[in-house]
């Protein structure tokens, strides 16, 4: 009986070490593809995560003053290595492992939520295809790392640590999203447009020279007039209104759920005047089409503005 317990204990120990090693390795591998941009796990604490999203897609860190807080994710590889060393020496490593695992699950949650937001802006169309194998490996390894820690009979505590990271990340993300939307809708409504242009003219400008058009329109408040080509409404009441050209290029205005009542009756074919901040364009070499995305979108109340 004693030999059996020893074998079981050794088996669990090595499972724990393998999960830790997988978590450590996955942290430095590609977690997501945003178009041509490869983002690795460590790019979040390194700062590349938000620099790419800001420069390439116009989606910035809503709390730049708290950028330093992402440095905490460097604890993932450090604590994972420490946890493995402790396990090899048959010592208890509960808190070290719990923190490493919770941080890893928190980070995978951030990658998932942020990628979903980029999809709303027209960057890809399937979050699960954009996320790469190492991000799933990191999540599974973090779960396994926590569950196989040496402490016996503390499943409730382990489950609490499994939930802690994702819950905190989800809550913080939604708080930031709500704050940004609340501020930007009012700003867009009150700020005079830098340009007023028809959807056809804007599409032609970007197709002719996307570099010049991006330089001219990016991060500017613009009124675009045209006939709606299609409307996409998601389960959380987020709405995307598009102007398309026959070749497949399009302009997409993203409306938060707070704007739902104002845009719910708009249908394909309706003439509309929309106002928002241009995030720039994304060119698909495969489809040979251009997608121009707008954030902070509202219905233009002053048609002469």
pLDDT: which is higher, 149 or 195: 195
State pLDDT tens for residues 15-57: 999 999 999 999 999 999 998 899 999 999 999 998 888 887 7
> What values do phi and psi take at 239, rounded to 5?
-125, 140
Contact 272, 299 (CB under 8 A): yes
If asked whether residues 147 and 284 sit together in one domain, one would say: no
CATH number for the domain including 294?
A: 2.40.50.140
Q: Could you tell me the two tokens for 241?
A: 């209104």
**In the block, which residue shows the tokens 């009979």?**
153
Number of domains composing the chain:
2
Half-sphere exposure of 34 (CA within 13 A, CB side): 29
State pLDDT tens for residues 238-257: 788 999 999 889 999 988 87
If asked whether residues 97 and 197 sit together in one domain, one would say: no
In terms of phi and psi (left: phi > 0; alpha: psi -120 to 50; beta: otherwise), the region of 266 is: beta
CA 298 to CA 301: how far, in whole Å?
A: 9
**Of 144, 42, 135, 136, which Cα lies nearest the Cα of 87?**
144
pTM of the model: 0.66
If asked whether residues 218 and 78 sit together in one domain, one would say: no
> What values do phi and psi take at 28, rounded to 5?
-105, 10
If asked whether residues 181 and 195 sit together in one domain, one would say: no
* DSSP state for residue 71 in the 8-state scheme: G
| pLDDT at residue 181, rounded to an integer | 56
Determine the average pLDDT of the residues in 208-223. Answer: 91
If asked whether residues 44 and 92 sit together in one domain, one would say: yes
CA–CA distances in Å: residue 129 to residues 44, 58, 124, 125, 251: 20, 22, 9, 8, 23
Radius of gyration of the chain measured on its C-alpha atoms: 23
CA 227 to CA 248: how far, in whole Å?
A: 15
If asked whether residues 78 and 150 sit together in one domain, one would say: yes
If asked whether residues 19 and 55 sit together in one domain, one would say: yes
pLDDT: which is higher, 61 or 126: 126
Cα end-to-end distance, the chain, whole Å: 83
If asked whether residues 274 and 129 sit together in one domain, one would say: no
Domain boundary among 188, 215, 250: 188
What domain range includes position 130? 2-188
If asked whether residues 73 and 222 sit together in one domain, one would say: no
**Of 42, 20, 40, 21, which Cα lies nearest the Cα of 98?**
20
If asked whether residues 267 and 178 sit together in one domain, one would say: no
Domain boundary among 145, 164, 188: 188
Domain boundary among 163, 188, 213: 188
């Amino acid at each position: 009986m004693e030999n059996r317990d020893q074998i079981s204990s050794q088996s669990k120990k090595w499972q724990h070490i393998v999960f830790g090693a997988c978590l450590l390795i996955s942290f430095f591998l590609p977690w997501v593809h945003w178009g041509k941009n490869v983002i690795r796990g460590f790019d979040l604490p390194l700062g590349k995560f938000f620099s790419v999203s800001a420069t390439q897609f116009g989606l910035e860190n809503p709390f730049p003053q708290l950028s330093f807080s992402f440095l905490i994710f460097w604890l993932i590889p450090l604590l994972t290595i420490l946890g493995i060393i402790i396990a090899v020496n048959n010592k208890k490593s509960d808190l070290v492992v719990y923190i490493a695992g919770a941080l890893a699950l928190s980070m995978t949650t951030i990658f998932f939520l942020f990628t979903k937001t980029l999809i709303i802006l027209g960057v890809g169309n399937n979050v699960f295809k954009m996320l790469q194998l190492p991000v799933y490996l990191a999540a599974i390894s973090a779960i396994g790392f926590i569950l196989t820690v040496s402490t016996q009979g503390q499943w409730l505590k382990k489950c609490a640590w499994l939930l802690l990271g994702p819950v905190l990340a989800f809550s913080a993300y939604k708080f930031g999203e709500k704050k940004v939307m609340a501020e930007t809708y009012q700003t867009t409504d009150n700020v005079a447009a830098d340009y007023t242009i028809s959807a056809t003219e804007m599409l032609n400008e970007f197709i002719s020279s996307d570099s010049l058009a991006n330089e001219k329109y990016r991060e500017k408040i613009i009124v675009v007039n045209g006939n709606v080509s299609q409307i996409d409404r998601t389960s959380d009441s987020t709405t995307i209104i598009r102007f398309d050209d026959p070749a497949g290029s399009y302009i997409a205005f993203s409306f938060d759920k707070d704007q739902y009542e104002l845009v719910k009756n708009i249908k394909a074919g309706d003439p509309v005047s929309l106002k928002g901040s241009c995030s720039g364009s994304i060119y698909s070499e495969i489809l040979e089409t251009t997608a121009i995305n707008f954030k902070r979108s509202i219905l233009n109340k002053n048609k002469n503005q």
